[in-house]
Amino acid sequence: MIKILIVFIIVSINNKCYSESMQFNKREKFIDSLYNNNSIREAIDSLDIWISNFDTTKTPKYQLGYFYSDRADCLKNLGLLNEALKNYDISRKFKQGYSIESDLSLENNIAYIYQFLGQNDTALSIFNNNLEIAKQNEQTDMIATIANNIGMTYSFTGMYFSAIEYYLESYKILDIVKDTLKISSILNNIGQLYLRLENLEEAEKYTLKCISLSKKIDMQTNIVIAYNNLGKIYTQKGDKYLAFKYLDSAMYTANAIEFYLAIPVITGNKGFAFLKFEQYDSAKMYIIKAIELNKKNESFNFLTKDYLNMASYYRKTKKYKEALKYYNYCINLGKQHSNLSDYYIAYKYKSETHKYLNDFKNAYSDFKIYIEISDSILNIRKQNEIFELEKKYNYQKKEKELILSKARIEKVKLSRAYISGGLVLILISLIFVYLQFLKKKKAYTVLYKKSIEAVKQEKKNNECRISLNRKQPDTDKQTKLYNNLIEVVEHNKVHHKKGLTLEDLAKNLTTNREYLSQIINEQFGRFNDFINHYRINDIVEILSDSDNIKSKYSLEVIAAEVGFNSMSTFIAAFKKETGLTPSKFRDSRK
pLDDT range class, residue 287, cuts 50, 70, 90: very high
- Mean pLDDT on 18-36: 48
What's the pLDDT tens digit per position in 171-190?
888 888 788 888 888 888 88
Residue 79 backbone dihedrals phi, psi, to 5 degrees: 85, 5
Of the pLDDT bands very low, low, confident and very high (cuts 50, 70, 90), residue 1 is very low
Contact, 549 vs 556, CB < 8 A? no
User: Which one is predicted more confidently, 390 or 470?
Assistant: 470
E-state strands within 190-347: none
Which range among 162-166, 314-318, 535-539 has the greatest average pLDDT? 314-318
Rounded mean pLDDT, 351-362: 88
Q: Using pLDDT thresholds of 50, 70 and 90, give the confidence band for residue 408.
A: low
54 — alpha (psi -120 to 50), left (phi > 0) or beta? beta
CA 285 to chain centre: 31
The whole-angstrom separation of Cα 250 and Cα 476 is: 52
Separation of alpha carbons 217 and 35, rounded Å: 16
Sign of the Cα pseudo-torsion (501, 504, 507, 508, in order): negative
Instruction: Return mean pLDDT, the chain.
Output: 77
Q: List, as one string, the DSSP characters of 322-389.
A: HHHHHHHHHHHHHHHTT-HHHHHHHHHHHHHHHHHTT-HHHHHHHHHHHHHHHHHHHHHHHHHHHHHH
Q: What is the pLDDT of residue 244?
A: 94
Q: Are 136 and 144 in contact (CB under 8 A)?
A: no
Residue 588, CA atoms < 13 Å, CB-side half-sphere: 26
Return the pLDDT at 331.
86
d(CA 398, CA 389): 14
User: Which pLDDT belongs to residue 288?
Assistant: 93
- State the burial class of residue 445 (Cβ atoms within 10 Å of its Cβ: 0-12, 13-18, 19+): middle
- Per-residue pLDDT of 222-274, as tens digits, reads 899 999 999 999 999 999 999 999 999 999 998 988 888 889 999 999 999 99
Helix boundaries (H) for 414-512: 419-471, 477-490, 502-508
User: Which amino acid belongs to residue 87?
Assistant: N
pLDDT at 342: 67
In the prediction, which pLDDT does 270 show?
94
Q: Which of the four pLDDT bands, split at 50, 70 and 90, describes residue 344?
A: confident
- Higher pLDDT: 520 or 338? It is 520
CA distance 579 to 387: 9
Express each pLDDT in 418-451 by its tens digit: 566 656 677 776 776 666 666 666 766 777 778 7
- Residue 162 confidence (pLDDT) above 70: yes
Model confidence band, residue 282 (pLDDT cutoffs 50, 70, 90): very high
Please state, in angstroms and rounded to a whole number, the distance separating the CA atoms of residues 221 and 76.
13
φ, ψ of residue 353 to 5 degrees: the values are -65, -40
Is the separation of the CB atoms in 272 and 250 below 8 Å? no
Task: Say what the pLDDT of residue 100 is.
Answer: 76
pLDDT value for 182: 83
Q: Domain segments of the chain: what residues? A: 1-98, 476-590
∠548-550-551 over CA atoms, to 5°?
70
DSSP string, 393-440: HHHHHHHHHHHHHHHHHHHHHS-GGGHHHHHHHHHHHHHHHHHHHHHH
Q: What is the mean pLDDT of residues 23-30?
A: 51
| Sign of the alpha-carbon dihedral angle for 553, 558, 560, 561 | positive
Please tell me the distance from the alpha carbon of residue 338 to that of residue 336, in angstroms, as a whole number: 6
| Residues 494-506 pLDDT 10s | 888 888 888 888 8
Q: Could you tell me which CATH class the domain 1-98 is placed in?
A: mainly alpha
Look up residue 104 and give its DSSP letter: H
Nearest-5° Cα angle at 431, 428 to 435: 135
Reported confidence tier of residue 404, pLDDT bands at 50, 70, 90:
low
pLDDT at position 156 over 90: no
Write down the pTM of the prediction: 0.50
pLDDT the model gives residue 341: 64
Answer with the residue of higher pLDDT: 67 or 79.
67
Mean pLDDT of 181-206: 85
Residue that wins the pLDDT comparison between 216 and 377: 216
Contact at 8 Å (CB) between 314 and 326? yes
Fold of 476-590: Arc Repressor Mutant, subunit A (1.10.10)
Return the sign of the alpha-carbon dihedral for residues 210, 300, 244, 312: negative
Q: Is residue 406's pLDDT more than 60?
A: no
What does the pLDDT read at residue 384? 47
- pLDDT of 424: 67
